[in-house]
Amino acid sequence: MLRNWAARISKMFLATMIGLLSIVGGAGQTWAAETTANLDLKVSSAFMIEASTGKVLYSINPDTPLPPASMTKMMTEYLVMEAVKNNKIKWTDQVPVSEFAFYIAKMSDSSGVYLNMGETHTVKDLYEAMAIASANDATALLAERVGGSETNFVSMMNKKAQELGMTNTYFATSSGLPVTSLGQYAPAADTSKDTVMSARDAAILAQRLITDYPESLEISKKSRYVFREGQPNASKLANNNWMLPGLPSEYQGVDGLKTGFTDEAQYCFTGTAQRDGMRVITVVMGAGSKLKRFEETKKLMNYGFSTFKLKETLGKGVPVPGFENAPVKKGVELEVPAVTKETVNILTKVGEETKATPKVVYNDLTAPIKKGDVIGKVYFETEGNNGALKKDGQAEGIDLVAAEDVEEGSWIRLFFRSIGQFISDLFHSIIG
């Protein structure tokens, strides 16, 4: 009996130590982005990831803060989606045009839908105008609706950027317009400090936007859009993303995400496309023309889809071999079966077999535990593969969940278990 107790305790200890070692090993590892391909990109910076894994596929000057122009609006989109999710606003809310939004609508060099004083529009209509037509006036009105003012909303943007791990980003306006162009409505006390974002940060933001709010792609994929539909002053607009179906630079699988242009930023684009179950996110900044940003993006996407593929490693609801059970404190059972919460894919190069080694980290578990509770994560280390973006400063992984309930043990059960543990430790000290 003592031997069985000792074996059981040793097994729990070994599983825990393996998990802890995987944390140390994963945290200390530095990966290089894919650099073997020479795509001859004519841009200031470029970045590409596979969306589900965050693996970096290509990188040029990824961490240089540059003016992103209207790619800034991805953060405004994120915060609007978040506000809807948290029931702070509704898509059907009617928003009257403010003096600030009207001021921007009158700017001759600002894209917009020409909002007029006295008009009201739904949050949904304004969001579509922002995401599809890059309307600065609609963006400003949404910022006021969510944040109360442009100043408050910009503070929310910068706070969220920190939460998402965007370390080379600063927001000065909700739209990406230069702060000095907002005149009396400029939110920043220091108008010499304008919006900047790195290509990596743009990819982080895009990844979180489409992962946390996949419905955003249902809007960004629209090639054309009508604002004030059915009204005499309706505005018929084409999406600024020319890679969408029916537009000049159409590319199979593209369904987002956001363009940008100012004199300082030049032409920028955060794109995303999905083929054969794999989605890439690309960023180009500082391209020389409207068309050039899509040509350079096409090079990235061609390279990504022709060079990499996703391979299923584990299905949904299955145990990780070698890590089938997680240790539990104060439970009727000492362990709980652990299974994957979703399908686990790894990224591999086309034509190559990539060995994937699972690393599991269990949470510190105390009964009671319910079936479906997240109890840990599984990470896969792959040979010769690229590093991944981090989510909220943490390495990406797939959740492991409890496959069954574990009830809390009674005091008498726990008392005798502690006696057994004491005897087991004493036995080991004698024979050691």
Q: What confidence score (pLDDT) does residue 400 get? A: 94
> Is the domain covering 45-310 a CATH 3.40.710.10 domain?
yes
Instruction: Quickly tell me which residue has 């529009």 as its tokens.
Output: 121
Question: Which of 31-45, 227-241, 261-275 has the least mean pLDDT?
Answer: 31-45
pLDDT at 173: 96
Please, what is the end-to-end C-alpha distance for the chain in angstroms?
Answer: 18
Please give the residue that has the higher pLDDT: either 158 or 6: 158
334-345 pLDDT tens trace = 889 999 998 888
Where is 372: in which H helix or E strand? none
235 given a catalytic annotation: no
The CATH architecture one would assign to domain 2-30+315-413 is: Sandwich (2.60)
What pLDDT, in 10s, does the model give residues 408-423? 755 565 455 566 555 6
- Of the listed 52, 59, 111, 134, which one is catalytic? 134
Distance from C-alpha of 136 to C-alpha of 113, rounded to nearest angstrom:
8
d(CA 103, CA 111) in angstroms, rounded, equals 13
**37 against 393, higher pLDDT:** 37
**CB-based contacts of 214: which residues, under 8 Å, 6+ apart?**
none
3-state secondary structure at position 268: strand
Nearest Cα residue to 174 out of 141, 125, 210, 126: 141
Evaluate if residue 203 carries a pLDDT over 50.
Answer: yes
Res 364 pLDDT > 50: yes
> In this predicted structure, what is the pLDDT of residue 110?
80
Average pLDDT over residues 242-266: 97
Question: Could you give the CA distance from residue 116 to residue 243 in angstroms, rounded to a whole number?
Answer: 31
> What is the tens place of the pLDDT at every residue in 91-109?
999 999 999 999 999 987 7
Q: What is the CA radius of gyration of the chain?
A: 26
Whether the predicted pLDDT of 362 surpasses 70: yes
Q: Assess contact for 205 and 281: CB atoms under 8 A.
A: no
| Cα angle, residue 346 at apex, residues 370 and 322 outer, rounded to 5° | 50
The verdict on whether 289 is a catalytic residue reads no
Domain ranges of the chain: 2-30+315-413, 45-310
Q: Which residues, in sequence order, are CB contacts of 313 under 8 Å at separation 6+?
A: 344, 345, 346, 356, 380
Over range 200-210, report the average pLDDT. Answer: 98
φ/ψ (deg, to 5) at 237 = -130, 145
Of 55, 73, 292, 299, the catalytic one is 73
- State the pTM of this model: 0.81
- pLDDT recorded at residue 11: 40
**Running DSSP on this structure, what letter comes out for residue 274?**
E
Selection from 182-196, 219-233, 418-432 with the highest mean pLDDT: 219-233
Catalytic residue among 44, 45, 52, 70: 70
Cα–Cα dist 80/329, whole Å:
42
For residue 333, give Cα distances in angstroms to 11, 320, 408, 409, 424.
14, 20, 8, 8, 18
Find the DSSP H helices in 270-410. 290-307
Q: Are 164 and 54 in contact (CB under 8 A)?
A: no
The mean per-residue pLDDT over the stretch 129-142 comes to 97
pLDDT of residue 188: 67
Q: Dihedral sign for Cα 94, 99, 101, 105, please.
A: positive
Element (H, E) at 260: strand 254-262
